[in-house]
Structure 1
Amino acid sequence: MAQTNTSQEIIEAIKASPSTKIKLAVTDIDGILRGKIISKEKFLKAIDRNVGFCDVVFGWDANDMVYNNSKVTGWHTGFPDATASIDLSTSREIPWNDNTPLFLADFHRDENMSNVCPRTLLKRVSEEALNLGFKPKFANEFEWFNFRETPDSLNEKGGINPTPLTPGMFGYSILRSSQNQAYFDDLFNLLKKFEVPLEGLHTETGNGVYEAAIAYTDILEAADRAVLFKTGVKEIASRHEIMASFMAKWNVNLPGCSGHIHQSLWDEKEEKNLFFDDSRDHSISTIMEQYIAGQLHCLPHILPMYAPTVNSYKRMVAGSWAATSVSWGVENRTTALRVINQTVDAMRLENRVPGADTNPYLSMAASLASGLYGIKNELSLDIEATSGNEYDHKDHQKLPATLAEATEKMKHSDLAPKLFGQTFTDHFSRTREWEWEQFSNAVTDWEIKRYFEII
């Protein structure tokens, strides 16, 4: 993998590559890859000099509409170039694109953008963990729906009523995966060549829905893999005239799509899983107990980091396999946090709150920062583990039910700035307020059907 090579070896490999171009990408606040193709010559110069990216990448939403409430950039700043720094350790080739080299960049050296760059935020939180003597190891797993559509065919339908890749509820179906064998195989094999290795890939419950578990690794590499996974799946799907969607809930009658995070802390040499202690109940160490307590304490204050869109909250309803409360349990898939304690190496915590629509840098940063908060403050795990169905516990603290409610709580929280900094918290809250405003101003099909004639 690229991470095993020195910077000089990577540079020499690029010089020797037959490719004349490089794909360079940064990640915006919504987790969308924004990038450009640059010449090999410009890339080699940019390694030391960095490269300019218009800072509108943090000044507009997922549909390229410019925020009218942003402080860090906007019409009032003139949208200057920001300085992006290329991370050579992210080097990989895109196997479905003539092995074009790809690199990720971030804004950790840019005075203005470093405070709001999602990848830079994760690097800061990860560094804090390392300074405390912890090596965070993380992985994402995603569910997503696949449709027999192209951008043009869906546009002709007005962007609604996509045709699922396959009909019926076929979770863990060998039959359904074999019926789209070429696509299924390409996902597994091409993503591995893209250095986004999968531990597993299978169908899930729902029309044309798949689930993939990405291999466990260092937290920053895990987030890089997650971002590249979502883009990679969409590009591979397009080669098969399929559209892949990571919406949290595209159809009220079908399950939603999760973006669960698996996480553990190890010692600096990565020899000891610090979450495991076989002398304690369920083998949950004191460190893990404090980590869980921290995540539960922070969860209501930072929910938009896990549920960033209006649609996110359509997934988070009772009986949906998604979290609705501040809760935890051992091997319990109805709670927000699930302890998996099968073996010492596999001992980990699964955060089941995030949907597939999250920005992996932000959801992982939120998970780690809140867990570390619990450790640093030696929080007690006062919430009892849930046995049985968490949805039946009506007395447990419920999570905010809408993006507006969750954003308002985060915006006025004293806790969020402690975890992520005041500038980031303010900017991110403003972007979520903007997202809710766009939804509130829209006239939906539901409104037309309900009110057009009868009211």
Structure 2
Amino acid sequence: MDQQQILDYLTQNNIHHVKFAFADIDGILRGKVIHIQKFIAGLEQGFGFCDVVFGWDSNDQAYDNVNITGWHTGYPDRPSRIDLATFRTIPWQNNIPFFIADFSGPGNEDVPCPRTLLKRITQQCTDMGYHPEFAQEFEWFNFSETPKTLAQKSYINPEPLTPGMYGYSLLRSSQQSDFYYALVNQLEQFNIPIEGLHTETGPGVYEAAIIHDHVLAAADKAVLFKNAVKEIASQHGIMASFMAKWNESLPGCSGHVHQSLFSTNQSTNLFYNEADPLHMSDLMKHYVAGQLYCMPHILPMYAPTINSYKRLVEGAWAPTTLTWGVDNRTTALRVLSSSPNSARLETRIPGADSNPYLAMATALASGLYGIKNKLTLPSQPVQGNGYLDKSNGTLAANLLEAAMDMQNSPIAKELFGESFTRHFTQTRIWEWQQFSKQVTDWELRRYFEII
């Protein structure tokens, strides 16, 4: 719907309030409900929003190491702007109209808005003559908890929704059929159609694949998916967690990104070549080579938390090496090229804790880097166990190492700009500093008595 159609819809349905939100640097939705009069008045000039939302972490603690905002600036308002193309209604909240916003446009040139970054890189892709088609899939754990009960337990030993492992179990999903089908049906009504939903290996864990779309719409859907799942789960007395690795002995939660480039009229998948032995076009080879080359320089964009790196361990269905393979789930990059309709690249590094805007922006920007520079693949596809192939290098072992590599990288600054790179890496270093201060249960158990 265009602007007039949306205004007509609001008037005809006697709607007095709308909700809008945007994603912060961690991918957390921040927003508010506003009166229809305020909504109409702000369509041209934007809606003032305190820029502290880019000056604090996921626990609302103010950074002391960033320049964009802080006590030194007085935390002024910045104009957030609603994207009317994102209009939908929330079926589990009385169908209140909902919009996604970002911080693009005048007055926001230095704001490190993830959606704005993706829009800029998407425009580069369009200018090169390609249509980027993306999708993200998620694994997440569900628990028989509420925020209150889990806090009372100090977040120790949360109770999974179901016991046992049971991947692809029809029994387990049928035992939670009210919740299971609420996800399927209400997400569809929320314009997030699910290609597939099933249990994964682990107690109470689900996996969902979102149907692919243009990269910006795909990222919008992925961001909204995570928040929507949590809200729907809450209505069923369930807590959903997209933490990358909540338990050492269980598999982690992935957020794999699927991607392909089409012709501008979307008629031809440019990643497919029937004549090539692997059915990969030269364009796809350059794209994959670009991601491999850039990966050590931009890893925190895929793996942004302390916990992300607990998932990236050998033998846990997550990559640890700079590798690529054809339909190989042990490599960082999995090429799927069996047909012209579905030829795509699956970037397997992102976890469920990734910010979809940043994960997709990174995948696209690094792939385009390979195309622009006509990079060639450094090796043949890995056959067998990709954990053993370290010929191209390995992923950084923790967030600090990855953030320092990115902060000092000219590649990262070329892909994302110096201002964004500086701000983002400083927020990741802050995250490491907060973690390093903590005295953990592990330390108490190990050192309290015996040392």
**TM-score (normalised: structure 1):** 0.98
Match of 1:275 in 2: 271
Match of 2:226 in 1: 230
Task: Work out the CA distance in 1 between the residues paired with 2:345 and 2:4.
Answer: 37
Q: Does 1:441 align with 2:437?
A: yes
Q: Does 1:95 align with 2:86?
A: no
Task: Work out the CA distance in 2 between the residues paired with 1:227 and 1:415.
Answer: 26
Task: Work out the CA distance in 2 between the residues paired with 1:113 and 1:439.
Answer: 31
Instruction: Name which of 295, 305, 323 aligns with 2:301.
Output: 305
Match of 2:192 in 1: 196
SS of 2:278's partner is helix
Match of 2:29 in 1: 33
Match of 1:10 in 2: 6
Q: Deviation of residue 394 (structure 1)?
A: 4.5
Task: Work out the CA distance in 1 between the residues paired with 2:343 and 2:181.
Answer: 30
Q: Deviation of residue 44 (structure 1)?
A: 1.1
Q: Is the 8 A contact 1:196 1:225 kept in 2?
A: yes
Q: Deviation of residue 6 (structure 1)?
A: 2.2
Task: Work out the CA distance in 1 between the residues paired with 2:284 and 2:338.
Answer: 15
Match of 1:45 in 2: 41
Task: Work out the CA distance in 1 between the residues paired with 2:360 and 2:391.
Answer: 29
SS of 1:281's partner is coil
Instruction: Name which of 232, 236, 243 aligns with 1:240.
Output: 236
Match of 1:373 in 2: 369
Task: Work out the CA distance in 2 between the residues paired with 1:408 and 1:255.
Answer: 27
Match of 1:137 in 2: 133
Pairwise mapping of residues 357-436 of structure 1 onto structure 2 (< 5 A)?
A: 357-436=353-432
Residue by residue over 1:135-165, the C-alpha shift from the partner in whole angstroms, topping out at 9 and shown as x without a partner, is 0000000000000000111111012211000
Residue by residue over 1:177-196, the C-alpha shift from the partner in whole angstroms, topping out at 9 and shown as x without a partner, is 00000000000000000001
Task: Work out the CA distance in 2 between the residues paired with 1:27 and 1:399.
Answer: 27
Alignment-mate amino acid for residue 78 of structure 1: G
Gapped runs of 5+ residues in structure 1?
none
SS of 1:96's partner is helix
Q: Deviation of residue 396 (structure 1)?
A: 4.3
Instruction: Name which of 152, 164, 169 aligns with 1:168.
Output: 164
Q: Deviation of residue 391 (structure 1)?
A: 1.4
Match of 2:104 in 1: 108
Moved more, 39-48 or 222-231: 39-48
Q: Does 1:22 align with 2:18?
A: yes
Q: Is the 8 A contact 2:322 2:390 kept in 1?
A: no
Alignment-mate amino acid for residue 187 of structure 1: L
Q: Is the 8 A contact 1:82 1:113 kept in 2?
A: no
Match of 2:312 in 1: 316
Q: Is the 8 A contact 1:298 1:370 kept in 2?
A: yes
Task: Work out the CA distance in 2 between the residues paired with 1:16 and 1:357.
Answer: 40
Q: Is the 8 A contact 1:82 1:110 kept in 2?
A: no
Residue by residue over 1:363-409, the C-alpha shift from the partner in whole angstroms, topping out at 9 and shown as x without a partner, is 00000000000000000112221001111224441110100000010
Task: Work out the CA distance in 1 between the residues paired with 2:397 and 2:48.
Answer: 39
Q: Deviation of residue 343 (structure 1)?
A: 1.5
Moved more, 335-344 or 394-403: 394-403
Q: Is the 8 A contact 2:45 2:79 kept in 1?
A: no
Task: Work out the CA distance in 2 between the residues paired with 1:207 and 1:18.
Answer: 45
Q: Is the 8 A contact 1:134 1:266 kept in 2?
A: yes
Gapped runs of 5+ residues in structure 2?
none
Q: Does 1:335 align with 2:294?
A: no
Task: Work out the CA distance in 2 between the residues paired with 1:132 and 1:288.
Answer: 14
Instruction: Name which of 175, 182, 192 aligns with 1:179.
Output: 175
Percentage of pairs with the same residue = 57
Task: Work out the CA distance in 2 between the residues paired with 1:433 and 1:111.
Answer: 27
Residue by residue over 1:295-338, the C-alpha shift from the partner in whole angstroms, topping out at 9 and shown as x without a partner, is 00000100000000000000000001101011000000000000
SS of 2:93's partner is coil
Q: Is the 8 A contact 1:25 1:33 kept in 2?
A: yes
Alignment-mate amino acid for residue 66 of structure 1: A
The alignment covers a number of residue pairs equal to 451
Moved more, 390-399 or 137-146: 390-399
Moved more, 177-186 or 46-55: 46-55
Q: Deviation of residue 13 (structure 1)?
A: 1.4
Task: Work out the CA distance in 2 between the residues paired with 1:345 and 1:408.
Answer: 40
Match of 2:121 in 1: 125
SS of 2:415's partner is helix
Q: Is the 8 A contact 2:110 2:419 kept in 1?
A: no
Q: Deviation of residue 238 (structure 1)?
A: 0.1
SS of 1:90's partner is strand
Match of 1:285 in 2: 281
